[in-house]
Structure 1
Amino acid sequence: MNILVKKLEQHKGHLSQLETTFLNDVIASPELFVKSTIDSISKRLFISTATISRCCKQLGFEGFQQFKYAVAQALENNESETIMDVRTESLTHQVQRIQTEIEKTLARLSEEKLNQATNYLIKSQAIEFFGVGASLPTCMEASRKLTFAGKTSSARGDWDELDIVARNLTKKDLAIIISYSGETPHVLAYAKALKANKVPVLALIGCENSSLEKLSTLTMTAAVTNCYYGEIDMSSRIPFNVLLELLILNYLKASGIER
């Protein structure tokens, strides 16, 4: 449940006061939440059912029932969750953790999937990277390399600009979305707009079975440990860089580019 809570708390800045009240109640009493109906919660918190439904969608779920199911699953899997506070982690442990993440990421990557992603790169007219927060630098680095390789590619930092781009890309283009949680509201909004335009979406995700995965054409999963230094999210983006490095190298070889 701790991992889900961390994901949900990232949304608080985008919620109204009443929506935040509902979310705080879920986080404080998840067992009560999964046993309750939307009507009973509405009466208990003096919040309309419409507000509750809207909040669930703001959190990246299709509605109340899907959110309720996600919380129930998180409670059921609580014992298997891994979340690490790195304040007392030695340098040796830090190196081992990053090495393990890379090894697990590579173990999950099949040559078939890498070639599929490469074909999307080759066929695309233009490539647009979508990533916010800590994922943005990874997007910019990959876009820079593709640009030097002669491929039309962009990575933008302005959320509103990304929204416009997502609505104007076509099925001849390729969108590459990088998201650790796969639940970031802005990223999901971009993904929905892209899907509506039938734009191929390659998603690099740190958590399996996320909302973003369901909206994507093809996904590549990175093994990322949930790491915090107190309240600071220190989860590594190195596995994403590794996946993109391999993808771009594979693209260069498949395209016969010599520089």
Structure 2
Amino acid sequence: MEVGNGPTIANRIAARRRSMPAAMSRIADVVLEHPSAPVELTITELAERAGTSPATVTRFCRAIGFDGYTQFRVGVASEVGRGGADETWRADIGSEFAPDDTPDKVLRTLVSLHVRSLETTAAWVDLEDVSRAAHAIATSRHVDIYGVGGSAVIATELQRRLHRIGLSAHAWSDTHDGIASAVLQNGDSVAIGISSTGQTEQTVEMLAQAGAVGAFTVAITHAADSWMADVADVAIATPTPASYLRPDDMSVKHSQLLVVDLFYLLVAQQMFDEAATRLAATAMAVSGYRRDRQTTAPTKPAQEA
């Protein structure tokens, strides 16, 4: 296919957009908003970002005239290359940063954006919902936490904190393992789904399955009106990422980590005695593996004559 001589990818999408089902339309949104995304992402990663499946991505590629995802990526790479370095920079990095910014300016811009994200989260978060979820966690038999991709890191962090203060908790990033665990939950369990977009199909499926068997379900997401928020008993919405940040960039996880910290502390308050005992025990258990820095340099071996 002569990509260079044909219509642009944006024009191809526009020509077929009205006939696309909702799942394919979400892929179109990702591609139009971030033109270089297909070059940087695997088919699975693009599907996750759009909240759909790899098979739907393949159908999308064929709908706009490509034989498959590989051919689509080649077409995108060719088009991005023709767009010029400045356009590519704006698409991939954003207008907040210039390629000739000093390290000091880059740092100050990052700090400003991240502080703004945390402040917005603090202003947005519904403390009544967070408190309700924290109470459910503190009084639960077990906590299941679901997250894939970048969200798996946040899920694991929450699991580690809850486990350390004495709660039975597991973090699941594999869909099969997560669903197998979800069906074993009940009304004494809490299930937490973490997804930046709130549209990650695997995470939604795991959370919905846990809810179907009676678990109290919590969604942590940037999208309050997302699919995952709809299936949860409580949805904790964090701010939409700044324009230069991507939903799976670790930098946008700061607002979710703030919510994780808030959950952890509110849960620990409600089980103060047990939490304090557990924290002391775990700190003592690992203390032997920490070494103070040597105050004097080791003696250098004498050289042989």
Q: Is this a same-fold pair by TM over 0.5?
A: yes
* Residues 180-201 of structure 1 deviation map (CA, whole Å, 9 limit, x = unaligned): 0010111121122122212111
Identify which of 16, 19, 23 aligns with 2:60.
23
Number of equivalenced pairs: 204
The answer to whether the 8 Å contact 1:201/1:218 transfers is yes
Q: Counterpart of 1:55?
A: none
Q: Counterpart of 1:162?
A: 178
Q: Give the 3 Å change call, closer, same or farther, for CA 102–25 of structure 1 in structure 2.
A: farther
Shift of residue 138, structure 1, vs aligned partner: 1.2
The answer to whether the 8 Å contact 2:220/2:237 transfers is yes
* Residues 215-234 of structure 1 deviation map (CA, whole Å, 9 limit, x = unaligned): 00001111141555799846
Paired amino acid for 1:14: S
Distance in 1 between residues matched to 2:62 and 2:242, nearest whole Å: 23
Q: State the TM-score, normalizing by the size of structure 1.
A: 0.68
Whether 1:193 and 2:218 are equivalent positions in the alignment is: no
Q: Give the 3 Å change call, closer, same or farther, for CA 230–212 of structure 1 in structure 2.
A: closer
Give the alignment of 1:1-259 within 5 angstroms. Answer: 4-5=29-30, 9-11=46-48, 14-16=53-55, 19-20=56-57, 22-24=59-61, 85=94, 88=98, 90-226=106-242, 233=249, 236-257=252-273, 258-259=276-277
Q: Which SS does the other structure have where 1:124 is aligned?
A: coil
* Residues 72-109 of structure 1 deviation map (CA, whole Å, 9 limit, x = unaligned): xxxxxxxxxxx962663722111111111110111112
* Residues 157-208 of structure 1 deviation map (CA, whole Å, 9 limit, x = unaligned): 3332112111221121001111100101111211221222121111101122
Q: Which SS does the other structure have where 2:57 is aligned?
A: helix
* Residues 229-250 of structure 1 deviation map (CA, whole Å, 9 limit, x = unaligned): 7998465111111111011101
Pair member with larger Rg: 2
Distance in 1 between residues matched to 2:247 and 2:143, nearest whole Å: 35
CA RMSD of aligned residues (A): 3.3
Segments of 5+ residues of structure 1 without an aligned counterpart are 29-82
Which structure carries more relative contact order (alpha carbon 8 Å, separation 6+)?
1
Q: State the TM-score, normalizing by the size of structure 2.
A: 0.58
